Amino acid sequence: MAIPSNPGPGATSASAGLAAVGVWRLLAVAAPHLAALGLMLSTEVDFPARLCFLLSWGILNSFWGTLLRRPALSGALSLTLVVVLVLLSRLKHDIVQMTANFVDLMVIDRDTAAFLFTIFPNLRWSVISAALVTLPLMCLLGWLDPFRIRRLPAFACGLTCLTTLAGFSLTWPEKAWRGYFDDGYLSKFSRSGVIAVSDFIQFGFMDSDAVTTEHLKVPLVDACRPVGRRPNIILVHDESSFDIRQAAGVKVPPGYGGHFRSFDGRERKFLAESNGGPSWFTEYNVLAGLSSRSFGPFAYFVTRIASGRVARGLPLALRRCGYDAVSLYPAFGAFMGARSFQLTTGVQQFYDAQDLGAKAVEPDSFFYDKALGLMSQRSPASPFFMFVYLAANHFPWETRFRPDLALAWRDPGNAPVVDEYLRRQAMSAQDYTAFVATLKERFPGAPFLIVRYGDHQPEFSPHLLDPDLDEAGIGKKLENYDPRYYATYYAIDAINFEPVESPAVMDTIDGPYLPLVIQEVAGIPLDPSFAEQKQIMLRCHGLFYACKDGAEARRFNRLLIDAGLIQGL
């Protein structure tokens, strides 16, 4: 009988080493899933959210597994995507008080990234550092992974998870106000994707009536016959500005409030369609004269959708009356499709940050000086429309913007972000006063109509307006478009020109009516579309999308579609 030989110590060490390598390889496969489990428990707050997280996790792993066949690498890539989503979602929540959703994928491009890197200079180095750490780890995991996944079962698993997620999301859709909660990042993102695709299949991008028996006449290019002198028109986009005295208990500096008054001494309210961040909502309002809310879940990238499709707006209407249209933009022109959108609405000369030589975020005086320079180069033979888009009062307010400016400023004694916000408002008011004085000096006798508006309230305003409300309460008010959260201001000033009286100059207007107000006070004859919109404004007392639960806006959109002024929506 043969007696097995006793292995020597070297063989035992080799076996132990192989076992250790095997444990490390098993850990490489299990670690991403354990990390994802911990992330789920810390960010998803109830059973439906956790179920959608698990289904989304299954979809991601099945996708990478089908593509790469390596479970460890698939798990690591899935975890990386989820972590990136969580970080971006938190960043978005800090900016606009909403977490990321599926349609945000449409706004990720080079110019969006460049804009974020401008606002957050340290973000670039964080991304580079993360890439330097992540890429070697991915290569190591690919080498350690001893397992291979069969493609057909992986695909079947992913399809099952996707079908289950779609059915659950359509049967039990998440409440819209949950988007304002700083949690549930992956589950809300996934469920929003199902709803967005479903809405697009059913309604398309834009909400409008199916048919109407009414018709608009297409405006003729040479049909404009203004009475009297046409003023040069300057439209000023006053970033994140509103009268903070709407919130109780805020200390303001002496003289605060004059910036919000018009030539007649009155203060007027402008109801924006966003709070806290997306200026392009209001950009669409004041140039196209239409509502971003008509785009439903796709409103977040309204300017991109409207580019090349919405051939109606304030610049086009003014060009019919002999105006030249110029725009000064503080970011890269491709950001949110700004250049393409503005050219669609009739802007002829578009100058973005690169064209203007802007470095990072510039004070308002920079853009006013550029505007004055462009005016000096123009022939006085024809009037102009100039859109001056400011950015100095953009978030974040945790840091001192241009500490070399406003040296005489003294904080009133509020929270630091509020005092910095007030400081920037004071700088804006000072720069605007200097701009008006320079206009009078350089262009004596030239008529000017200047209209300013706040594009939205800052992201911290709801907590000032309702300090006792929690996130759920604030989210519901934002979802229901509480006017207190969306009210900013609009002001009308004039130089060597008497604004025309009009019933359209109301104390409170919805954002899409501002182009109509500008034409009315400038004495510009309205084309058929703006004449029809004026009737809506008077019937609805300054409301647009909210009038009759959106019925007036849907009807008006159909009129524009039938007239060929909106195409492909």
Write the DSSP assignment of 137-176 as a string of letters. Answer: HHHHHHHH------HHHHHHHHHHHHHHHHHHHHHSPPPG
User: Mean pLDDT per 10-residue run, the chain (569 residues)?
Assistant: 45 46 68 89 90 93 87 84 84 69 63 58 63 66 71 91 91 74 85 81 80 77 72 97 94 94 96 89 96 88 90 94 94 85 95 91 96 92 94 90 92 95 96 97 96 95 92 86 95 96 96 97 93 96 95 94 89
Looking at residue 87, its pLDDT comes to 83
CA distance 84 to 186: 10
Looking at residue 79, its pLDDT comes to 87
Place of tokens 């509480």: 482
Looking at residue 131, its pLDDT comes to 64
Integer CA distances (angstroms), 167 to 22, 50, 161, 343, 535, in order? 40, 15, 10, 41, 44
Looking at residue 134, its pLDDT comes to 65
CA distance 412 to 566: 49
Looking at residue 374, its pLDDT comes to 96
Integer CA distances (angstroms), 357 to 38, 272, 334, 395, 433, in order? 47, 30, 16, 21, 23
DSSP 276: B
184: left (phi over 0), alpha (psi -120 to 50) or beta: left
CA distance 68 to 63: 9
**Which CATH number is 232-562 given?**
3.40.720.10
Sequential DSSP letters for 281-320:
HHHHHHHH-S-GGGGGGGGGGHHHHHTTTB--SHHHHHHT
Strands, sheet with 448-454, edge to edge from the N-terminal-most edge strand: 349-351, 324-328, 384-389, 232-238, 448-454, 490-495
CA distance 279 to 286: 11
What is the maximum span of the chain, computed from C-alpha positions, in angstroms?
121
| 8 A C-beta contact, residue 293 and residue 532 | no
Q: What is the dihedral of CA 46, 52, 54, 58, to 10 degrees?
A: 180
Looking at residue 239, its pLDDT comes to 95
Stretch(es) of the chain classified as CATH 3.40.720.10 = 232-562
- Ranges of beta strands (E only) in 455-569 are 490-495, 508-510
Looking at residue 113, its pLDDT comes to 60
Query: Which two three-digit tokens encode residue 82?
Result: 């989820």
Nearest to 488 by CA among 227, 163, 260, 149: 260
Looking at residue 285, its pLDDT comes to 97
83 Cβ contact list (under 8 Å, min separation 6): 39
Cα end-to-end span (Å), the chain:
88
7: amino acid identity, one letter = P
